Structure 1
């Protein structure tokens, strides 16, 4: 199982000037992938509470300070040559698909074909309002975005006629390195989201959880793949491990071993809520990786 780490992007780690050196060092010491997330704003009185939080403490403190995911990945792509570069997750319905395709294709070219985009639909209505996107239609819009990307990465001239977006027959000759475009992963935890993973995605960008929960969700995705005439064994998993304050390297390594037991192709650690400095994240992440590989 490949092991990755998130780039310094949130909270006290949101240091744009350190992304290049961090990415370079992460690659040099043996990490296999680098990951970013996506935030638009952090309301003082939010419409929704982040999963696992409360009305009194509605989201992680680090969400108040963040670096743009496309900028962070562009810097990391330029500073590295081997590691895969992923998003967990981009809130795809925030972006017009034509511009999203342009950014993703450019990143795939910049990285030499190392991009693994993961899409989600978010959880906060305030962010949708701020970017003039429809929170109630986010699932349907994600499906349309997937149709759009399939078309624009497979043909030119290209056109699209959908419920939300229309593009006249046009030349879009900027082509990704990876044939057919970068492999698109999807996030989510509900039955509808997992069925979409099975029907449409290269795989799932999930989060570490108890084995029973994973078995139930992954089974939904596999059955959906079979129903769609796809090979369920071809679905891949990239699993995020959110490390909480107080968890030791041994605690996190045990979680990663459990994820490895799921048959996941990759996992990555999110340490920006566990330590205050990027250098500490690399040090702790390296200890975790070594423990996993030793056991």
Structure 2
């Protein structure tokens, strides 16, 4: 085991030069260029990785994984999500990194006189660490992607269904784009309570900006309208184009309880 301890000291003492060699090797082999700051961060991470690997060999702790590697993996995933990149752009670097680390550890093993078994042990250990890094990167990317999508959907729902007070007791709800179950639920959970807070007497639901409307969503919006009526708020519908009106008719929805007008201007004139 003396040779393993020698390799551990070697990795710790030469961590900086080895880290530079690894990063430069990956970039050169893959013909990629990254910002200098990102390159420095990668070198810093690999310095920590080499030192941690050396220490784990000295301590006999085969479960040790540097926290800096986990954080670096997560930051790589975060950068891809925020820039709209694909996870494959990161994953594709791992095979090359494995090859370079395998060659590096084999060279060190030869220089220090390690046996084939000891060299295999080092390679197995570094591959286990890389697997953890890869898993953390993918898992973080998936979590952040889901979070990003949810936030984007919520922002779109807020922008596409804003409640606009125009006079005391009167507000307009301009429906814009495509209405799906998520946005219909958003209206129910966010817009309806606001109508009560504003003490509205009339809510003008303007459909002129709607791209399409299926029967299921039409029924859902009708239920929301009935709920508002029970709260003492008169719902006025405007902007129903012929194709949207046809969807409402086909759904069997009873619209007799709702006043309908061609546009918001006509609705306001009649309300006043």
| TM-score under structure 2 length normalisation | 0.24
Higher helix residue share: 2
Point out which structure has higher relative CO (alpha carbons under 8 A, 6+ apart): 1
Higher strand residue share: 1
